Structures are given as structure tokens and as C-alpha cells.
Amino acid sequence: MGPTAGALDFPLSVTTQASVGVTVADRQVPKWHELKPLLRPKPIDINPTKRRLAAALTISDLRSVARRRTPRSVFDYTDGAAGGEISLKRARDLFNELEFQPSILRDVAEVDMSTTMLGQPSAMPFAFAPTGFTRLMNHEGETAVVRVAERRGIPYALSTMGTTSIEDVAAAAPKARKWFQLYVWKDRSAAQDLMMRAKEAGFEALILTVDVPVAGPRLRDTRNGFSIPPALTAKTVFGAAMHPAWWINLLTTSPLTFATLSDWRGTIGEMLDKLFDPSMTIADLEWLRSFWDGPLVIKGIQSVADARRVVDAGAEALVVSNHGGRQLDRAPIPLRLLPDVLDAVGDRAEVWLDTGVMSGADIVAATALGARATLVGRAYLYGLMAGGERGVERAVEILSRDIRRTMQLLGVRTIDELNASHVKLP
């Protein structure tokens, strides 16, 4: 008979353990030569920026560092969106909720992430999006970003609202693929001058942003009293005490100026409403073409009908985008709209996408659904705020690693092998 239930309440003796096949391990004091191979302390890097960046494994990690390193108003300007920020949340939610469909037993030892944009090579299927007021995020600004773009072999777009001149950006990275993003102002002569300067500086393409007839309701900026340049109010003085390095860099480097404006005093919303032309129509593309004969990209497409209209008007590429959620709240989700736009446009123009991209997996998903490439904005700005040029480089390292690994896990070796069968939208 086996032991009674009560007997199981007591420890087995050594003899009983042996009889049921349990071996009692011998114990000993570990010897140094046994411990030594296990003791591998992580080298301590005395450079705090390198430590912070090395610890950042995702774009979200860089965002957390950026939040600690910059004044709240600057971080919120970069991080925030319009109204209740519903458009941005929906875009990110769709990326998070989609399902990948991998194919197994494929040779993915070697992966090629390169593609073409506007007929020219790009080392990866994304470009740096145009962003305004970049030197506010970090004093190294646009020149840091374009240098990383040159090293990494991806295109860079300079914004009309940038804080480094067209000529200085061109000089900082002469071999980079550079595009100029244009807002058309009420003073049309200013746009003509910008296009002429961009052409003379070697910028290869023009990106016309069409979804900002007026400023979106950036509530974070209003609540923070965010102005250009930052005003030294009691609130910002307190922020300076919390982020002294940011303020020292701002005040001890060349004065904050715009790529295209000589001066401004006021909020960003007031600036946009005063300068931008809400009367512009599709007919004005003919006027624009009279000054720009290079590739034309239309950014801000949010409907199939508008995609057809701009391609009919001669655009070589379009960007399905709701401006990173920063204009119309509850706008269409670009990733959801993408397949319908592709069906409508066919092969008459390249179709790109932005809004909500926070990982290399997001870039792969958009590419699989048919986007030629994506534009990345906040992701590299978080890196810039976290560590200047080195932070932008870290952002690209993270995105590159994600793209490569996601492709391998999906069972594809080249960008051209990605297709809609690899992604299932909810």
C-alpha cells in the first residue's frame, strides 16, 4: 500500500527519497575559478548622453528621455496633437492592433531594406519628415538631422518653418538627398523666393503641404503659453531651473531664427493664421509649377477624391497624412485610407504615408500595405531632444533594427517582397 494522505504532510527521509528516485544534491563552497567566468560587470560609460541613449531600446524609450531633458512646453509642442488628440491616438491604435501574417521556412539570412523614392535610392523605406522649430527641441537642430540622413542614406525634408536656413542645411550635408517643404503664404512672392533658393541650393524635390489652411487647435501649446521665441515668464523661468542645460544651449548658441522668416513674436497658432493662405486651391498648382520644375509631392491627402485630383494636376507623389494628428481632430486614419488611395491612383504616382509611426514594425506594415515609404517626424525628434545628433542616430538605429528583424520574422528578404498578405487590419 502506498503512504496515507497524512504521511505526505511530513518531509521524506533521505532513504525514502532515494527509493523514489530523488537524488539529494551535494553542496560545496564555490571556488574562485568557477565564479570568475560569471563575473562580467557592464562597463560604465562616463558620458551621460551615451548612457541615456544606449539604454533606449525603443522610440518610446527615447520619448521618455526627451520628456525629462526638455522644458514641458517644448516637449508638448513636439508630442502633442490637435483638440482631444483623437486623430493621433486612432492612428497609433491601428498600428498597434494590426496583425502580421508571417511566412515560415524562408531564407532570411540576408535582408535588403533599400527602396527608391522619386526614382532615387533610399537605404530604408522612410525619410525624415519636415518639422518646424527644430532648434527648439535641441540647439543642434536641422543640421544634426540632415547629417544623420546623409550618413544613413535616407532623404531629409526641410520645413518652411525650420530654424536653419536653406543654404546652411545644404552646406551641412552636401551629399544628402534634400527636399524642401513649402507652405504657401498670403504673400506669394515669399513662396517664389523660397522655391528659387531651394533649387539653387540643390534640393531635389518640393513637398507642398495642403492641410493647413488655418492652424489646428493645439491645446497643449495654448495652455503652456508656448510662443516663438520662448518668453521668459514666471512659468518658463521655473522650467529653466528644471532644465538648465537646454536653456544654456539656447542662449549661448546663435540666436533662434527661421529658415524663411526674419522675425516673429507670438504663438505658433497666431503665426500660421497670419501667414498661411487659406484661399489656395487646386488651380494654384499650375502657378506653383511655373516656378518649380522638379518632382512635386503633395502632403496632406485625406480622401480618395483629393488623391485623384492632385495626381491629375501632375504630382509625382502624394502623402496620405493627417499632419500627425495636429490639424483636424477625428480626421481619417492614414493607414486605413491607404489601400483605397492606392487603388485610385494606381501607378500614376508614388504613395507615401505618415502619422503615428513609432517603430520599424509600423514602417514595415505601411510598406506591406502598399506605401512606397513613410515619413518619420516625432520619432527622430524624440531622439534629437534626448541627445542631439547622437540621439537622431540612435533613433535610426532603433528603426533600422526593427525593420530588419520584422522583415526576417515575416519571411521576406527585400522590400519588394512585402505585400498586403503580410498584414491583417482589424
- Is 355 among the domain residues? yes
- Chain Cα centroid distance, residue 413: 24
What is the band of 230 on the pLDDT scale with cuts at 50, 70, 90? low
pLDDT of residue 15: 44
- Is 215 among the domain residues? yes
- Is 375 among the domain residues? yes
Active site residue 33: no
- Is 18 among the domain residues? no
- Is 345 among the domain residues? yes
Q: Which domain holds residue 185?
A: 56-424
C-alpha closest to that of 76 among 263, 239, 320, 261:
239
Say whether pLDDT at 305 is over 50: yes
DSSP label of 398: H
Cell of 244: 538648465
Number of domains making up the chain: 1
Give 185-190 contacts, CB < 8 A, sequence gap 24+. 185/275, 185/276, 185/277, 186/275, 186/276, 186/277, 187/275, 188/277, 188/287, 190/260
- Residue pair 186/276 in contact (Cβ under 8 Å)? The answer is yes
pLDDT of residue 26: 80
- Is 48 among the domain residues? no
CATH number of the domain that 146 lies in? 3.20.20.70
Torsion of CA 65, 66, 68, 72, to 10 degrees: -160
pTM comes to: 0.89
pLDDT tens digit sequence for 147-180:
999 999 999 999 998 999 999 999 999 999 999 9
What is the band of 10 on the pLDDT scale with cuts at 50, 70, 90? very low
Q: Which of 139, 243, 323, 422 is catalytic?
A: 323
pLDDT tens digit sequence for 52-100:
999 999 999 999 999 999 999 899 999 999 999 999 999 999 999 999 9
Write out the H or E segment, with its range, that includes residue 209.
Answer: strand 205-209
pLDDT tens digit sequence for 356-385:
999 999 999 999 999 999 999 999 999 999
